[in-house]
Chains A and B, each alone.
Chain A
Amino acid sequence: MPSRSLWVPFELGRPLGVPDDADFQIGVLKSLLGLFNRKSGPVIEDYPIESPVTAETDAAWSCTIPLPPLPDTTTPAEALKQALLQEVGSLAPWHAESMRRMGRTSFGLSGLTPESMPEVAAFLADVASGENPEPLSGLSEPLPIAIRYMADDAKAYYMEAANEQPGSDSPGGTRMWTWIYHETRMGQVFYDLRDRLASEYADRMAANGGERPPGPPPINPISARFAVRPEPTAP
């Protein structure tokens, strides 16, 4: 049968509008279910209520965990790895609190547990810097697909920890992604990871006479909306 459709003005990934707001979600759902009463169609209606979470309200959001400075070490890669591990350590109690309060976590696609986050971070930093570390024990998939799932788990870890911190309401998706990619050491590692894997893929393509080499395209943990790496900030 022709569908009855409700168009909603919310961010992609948020069709019910606002997380942790049952009344708002029920409002959307009742509007959708109400379309079943129509006697002719097709039907497409606009949902008239905007999400209270907007770019303007998001502008005030910031993560209270300070970005760790890059330590003075022998190489930039080692400095970034140390800062990353310090960052993960700062997030760890907030992620543990998130799991305690919600009784769940989205971490786990890699086959690992949130307690493995320091090892995941170190592994991703090593790969990003050009090393080829031994795969972690317990991964659910072989490399390179395991890198994608570790990156997904790292994002889940960061977002769940950030959402748990007091002081402000949780931001929308765009602000949260901006924080991850542009304001964290993990974001820097993601860009380095993308650049290394893309470079190696380009080399393989060149060796293949300019044609796509066999196999899937390289793992890329960066969303297309954030493809441009931000300008480096002062440590």
Chain B
Amino acid sequence: MVRLKDLPKEYAEGLLNLPIPDYGPAPWTDAPDLKDARVAIISTAGIHRASDEKFAGGAADYRLIPGDLDFAELTMSHVSVNFDRSGFQQDPNLVFPLERLRELEASGEIGSVARWHYSFMGATDPSRMDETAPRVAKLLKEDGVNAVILIPV
């Protein structure tokens, strides 16, 4: 994210004062070698296929994004008017680097790109996602995913 000093003061203070849920300690887990990694993206940019239901304010649910998605199908219904969509409109890879992952797969630098990726509404209090996050984790496991990149926006 941007440097706080590059933001208007009230914006920076708002970010600094955002509450952070405490999920307690978690055991360290070694990751697979990248050449064996099946990688999925989890985005909080409020993106989804245009045919999907738009995100609503406070939404804690998610949208499935297929790994073979054509970017022409992708849209963004993030609820915040403060959210900068200009980069996404120019190049969806800027927030959802699916084409870049495919290139890394083609060059053998990662094992494969997941069949499914996931999108959340980033303006939602993360504690509201306590129910949906484990469901996504289960779906990721069933897809054989062993490496996830979280791309906040």
Contact = CB atoms under 8 A, between A and B. Distances in A.
A223 B81 contact: yes
Interface string A108-149: 110000000000000000000000000000001000000011
Given A2-B28, A12-B2, A109-B54, A170 B97 contact: no
Contacts of A224: 10-11, 81-82
Nearest to B27: A1
A148 B91 CA distance: 23
A156 B89 contact: yes
A187 interface: no
B94 A15 contact: yes
B115 interface: no
A177 interface: yes
Contacts of B152: 15
Interface residues of A, number: 56
A234 interface: no
Contacts of B134: none
B97 A37 contact: no
B90 A1 contact: no
Contact of A221 (B1, B7, B30, B81): B81
B153 interface: yes
Nearest to B50: A108
A25 B147 contact: no
Interface stretch (B59-67, B98-106, B125-133): B98-106
Q: Which of A9, A19, A149 has the most CB of B within 10 A?
A: A19
Interface of A: 1-4, 7-20, 22, 25-26, 29-30, 32-33, 36-41, 103-104, 106, 108-109, 140, 148-149, 152, 155-156, 159-160, 163, 170, 173, 176-177, 216, 220-225
12 contacts: A1-B28, A10-B1, A11-B2, A13-B94, A16-B100, A19-B91, A30-B104, A30-B109, A33-B39, A37-B31, A109-B54, A223-B81
